[in-house]
Amino acid sequence: MSTAANNTKPRRVLVTGASGMLGGAVAQLLRDKGHQVRTFQRGASSQATDEIRGSLTDQDVVATAVESMDAVIHLAAKVSFTGHWNEFVATNIDGTANLLAAAKSAGIKDFVFVSSPSVAHFGNSLAGASAGVANPNLARGNYARSKAAAELSALAEDSPEFRVAAIRPHVVWGPGDTQLVERVVDRAKSGRLPLLDSGVALIDTTYIDNAASAIVRGLERMDYAHGRALVVTNGEPRPVGELIAGICKAGGAPAPKLNVPGWLARGAGSVIEKVWLAAGSRNLVHDEPPMTRFLAEQLSTAHWFDQRETHEVLDWKPTVSIDEGLAKLTTYYGQL
């Protein structure tokens, strides 16, 4: 494979959302590969790099962030199972639009938009599915709908002069993960973690190291990836109950025993989410509701994907298996 095709030459790369687990891993991997990294996020990123703090809604700060950069990897987003629509619009849709406009104006050539398979998951089971087309009208939940709209807007900007690729890592987890692992362990310890339909739904996930390497590979392989949306997973579908049990064991928590019918959880989730939102912003800042319709659908329907296109386009495969990732997670919790 030619160097030009892989774009492995050191570059100046802006990484948004580097205070999060995945954004931080991407920034570190870029640095390890010899790239010059600037991070952009609201708070401190713990990354020893050029850092700019601010909001994607501030056009002046965004313009400063992209100045002198060669490429952008955009991970910053409002990620939540619940929340008011206008909050998702401000960050995920309008914020992405601000970043795209600033990047084009600054003469940046490559833009990797980190998306989610939920943008094309409409509540039905996905078994060996392709990436599918993002659809903000059919995606489930405000996060997925807003990311779908942002992905479509980003890919619409793709051209030979401004290349855009969408990389969709699926259910990313690993040591230090507060989005999935910490919530699973905490709720299991307090007895608030049910299995839906006995946990038999087959799902795939992505260990953090694999997700980060695929995203960076998207930038390196922009000659082939631009204009595309690619789902990234470990390629190891497992019953959701088995995966949750593995995470619980790693974190020293009992595996859940309570079983709830999926149809009941989906209905209850719709009600709980409305009540949670009506309760005001205090709950939304400190915790997520115990169940939402989107979460119930994710826990009770299959969602695993055909990875052949991703492997071919990125010339990439995951290097850390699910079992290896669980072992790393066990070591992490043992050191706390």
Which residues are known to be catalytic? Answer: 143
Q: Considering only CA atoms, which of 254, 238, 237, 214 is closest in space to residue 305?
A: 237
Distance CA 234, CA 171 (A): 10
Q: How far apart are CA 232 and CA 309, in angstroms?
A: 10
Residue 145: which residues within 8 A CB-CB, separation 6 or more? 88, 136, 137, 139
Task: Name the residue among 92, 81, 145 with its Cα closest to residue 292.
Answer: 81
Per the DSSP assignment, residues forming a β-bridge with 39 are: 15, 51
Token output for 123:
């509540």
Q: Identify whether the C-beta of residue 204 lies closer than 8 Å to the C-beta of residue 235.
A: yes
DSSP conformational letter for 136 = T
